[in-house]
Amino acid sequence: MESRANATLKSENIKNFSNNRQALLFLQRDRADYFVTELNIGKEEAKNYSDIYNVGTVEKIDIYTYLHKKHIGLIHRIEQGIKSLKKSGRLKEIEQKHKKSVK
């Protein structure tokens, strides 16, 4: 994402923040035109700012699960659990419930 922004914006116009709250304050104080963050985190944080809203998706990305090597024995159980959740439709239910909770 940052490399795409760097290709179209001057580097002096790109600012990194340590958290979304700082970025939202920067935006609210009219010191930035926009900021980019993960959808659900952005929605949750933006609830506190009535004058800031989501204008759309820039890019969808894959999310991966990582394990410490001492838990390598859990890989098969995790894979089976995810497959089971998908097959039963429960994973979709969880996703929908989560989306509603951050609106």
**Residues 71 and 57 grouped into a single domain:** no
Segments forming the whole domain that contains residue 94: 64-103
**Residues 48 and 88 grouped into a single domain:** no
**Residues 30 and 45 grouped into a single domain:** yes
**Residues 75 and 56 grouped into a single domain:** no
Residues 52/57/61/63 CA torsion (nearest 10 deg): 40
pLDDT tens digits, residue range 31-88? 988 888 888 788 888 888 888 888 888 888 888 889 999 999 999 999 999 999 999 9
**Residues 49 and 70 grouped into a single domain:** no
**Residues 29 and 79 grouped into a single domain:** no
**Residues 72 and 42 grouped into a single domain:** no
Q: Which pLDDT belongs to residue 8?
A: 64
Q: Which pLDDT belongs to residue 49?
A: 87
Q: Are 14 and 6 in contact (CB under 8 A)?
A: yes
Q: Which residue has the higher pLDDT, 20 or 84?
A: 84
Q: Are 14 and 5 in contact (CB under 8 A)?
A: yes
Question: Domain count of the chain?
Answer: 2
**Residues 8 and 49 grouped into a single domain:** yes
**Residues 47 and 2 grouped into a single domain:** yes
**Residues 55 and 16 grouped into a single domain:** yes
Residues 33, 35: Cα–Cα separation, whole Å: 7
